[in-house]
Amino acid sequence: MSHELWRKNGSHEFFRKPFFIVGIYHLGIVSKSMEAVQLSKEFPGKLAVSNLNFTLKPGRLTALLGPNGAGKTTTMRLLTGFSRPSGGRVTIEGRDLSENRAEFQKQIGYLPESGPVYRDLTVLENLEFFARARCLSELNRSRSIFRVLEELNLGDVRNLVIGTLSKGFRQRVALASVLLSEPKYLILDEPSYGLDPTQMSQIRQLIQSLSKDRTVLISTHSLDEVEEICEHVLIMSKGTIVADSSVQSLRREDRLILEINDSGMNFEEFMKNNGWPNVFKIKNMEEGFVEYEVQLGDKKPEDIYLLVSRHQILLRGMRKLEESMKTIFNSITGN
């Protein structure tokens, strides 16, 4: 059929057909990612965020970190279409969000900071409103409401007025409202705010499982949360992105500390010649030993062991470089 179309109408018609679009979509040519391109937002007398460039990819849980006033909330508002950028653009699947904001917003679930909810509505009325607002069919509405009530353990309080519930419950209702329509893009500002440790752990697991087939960005002050569930980190300071990296490389988990007795040889040069360009001397130790930092890249620790033992270099110790997220965060943001 497609060949016939090609012959009959020429290539232009072929490219316009939906099956072609679907094809390249699955090949990953049309990305399902959300992208900020030179994004800026200026308020009277204040540049809130400036020249942000980053990509949020599906299947990857990204954390947005930064001290208060760094521009995290402004960035999230720009990504969700709540605010219009002063410069640059947000693209979703390669298309500008501002082209058809309301249409794109159907695919975006946004949980603002401290999970605001309609306190005078019951849990069910609240969910019903969100389901209708997102144009779910009547059958889908009931199914989705039932699903989120189950997922967030809200069944017992479904007929209670939200204002009478505890902070933790209110936060769960807010999250349930976001998850109702199973949006492809989830932007969550402090999703575990106000939850007790058990609920926090449940919500983290839920977010982690949701991120498998969705694009998820969470803003949080909990560095434990980032270490526990996030794969990628964006760190903001004074309205700009100062780090855009995987959690692993940010924590420098691919780095080892070696204690070598190099007997006066240039160990850095030696390693470089053997395919290890990123080796740095840290300090001299007692008994002629020297501490080196080695970046593994795609190699394994045993490769180093084999290399040094083949050249009869004395290796006393090898350990992973461990830096807490807190140390890294403080050093990057200058706190």
- Interacting residues with other proteins (CB under 8 A): 77, 80-84, 102-103, 105-106, 108, 110, 112-114, 116-122, 125, 128-130, 132-135, 161, 177
Residues sharing a CB contact under 8 Å with residue 155, sequence separation 6 or more, in sequence order? 149
Rounded to a whole number of angstroms, the minimum distance from the CB of residue 30 to other proteins is 21
Rounded to a whole number of angstroms, the minimum distance from the CB of residue 176 to other proteins is 13
Q: Which is nearer to other proteins, 119 or 272 (CB)?
A: 119
Q: Which is nearer to other proteins, 117 or 195 (CB)?
A: 117
Rounded to a whole number of angstroms, the minimum distance from the CB of residue 112 to other proteins is 4
* SS3 of the chain: CHHHHHHHHHHHHHHHCHHHHHHHHHCCCCCCCEEEEEEEEEECCEEEEEEEEEEECCCEEEEEECCCCCCHHHHHHHHHCCCCCCEEEEEECCEEHHHCHHHHHCCEEEECCCCCCCCCCEHHHHHHHHHHHCCCCHHHHHHHHHHHHHHCCCHHHCCCEHHHCCHHHHHHHHHHHHHCCCCCEEEEECCCCCCCHHHHHHHHHHHHHHCCCCEEEEECCCHHHHHHHCCEEEEEECCEEEEEEEHHHHCCCCEEEEEEECCCCCHHHHHHHCCCCCEEEEEECHHHCEEEEEECCCCCHHHHHHHHHHCCCEEEEEEECCCCHHHHHHHHHCC
Rounded to a whole number of angstroms, the minimum distance from the CB of residue 69 to other proteins is 18
Rounded to a whole number of angstroms, the minimum distance from the CB of residue 71 to other proteins is 16
118-137 core/surface letters (b: 16 or more CB in 10 A; e: else): beebbbeebbbebbeebebe
**Residue 203's closest CA among 214, 194, 213, 191?**
191
Q: Which is nearer to other proteins, 119 or 326 (CB)?
A: 119
Rounded to a whole number of angstroms, the minimum distance from the CB of residue 105 to other proteins is 4
Q: Which is nearer to other proteins, 161 or 257 (CB)?
A: 161
What is the Cα–Cα distance from 81 to 98, expressed in whole angstroms? 7
Q: Which is nearer to other proteins, 181 or 237 (CB)?
A: 181
What single-letter amino acid sits at 234? L
Q: Which is nearer to other proteins, 22 or 133 (CB)?
A: 133
- Asked whether 259 and 273 are in contact (CB, 8 A), the reply is no
Rounded to a whole number of angstroms, the minimum distance from the CB of residue 99 to other proteins is 14
Q: Which is nearer to other proteins, 183 or 262 (CB)?
A: 183
Rounded to a whole number of angstroms, the minimum distance from the CB of residue 90 to other proteins is 13
Q: Which is nearer to other proteins, 60 or 170 (CB)?
A: 170
Rounded to a whole number of angstroms, the minimum distance from the CB of residue 52 to other proteins is 18
- Asked whether 321 and 57 are in contact (CB, 8 A), the reply is no
Q: Which is nearer to other proteins, 93 or 125 (CB)?
A: 125
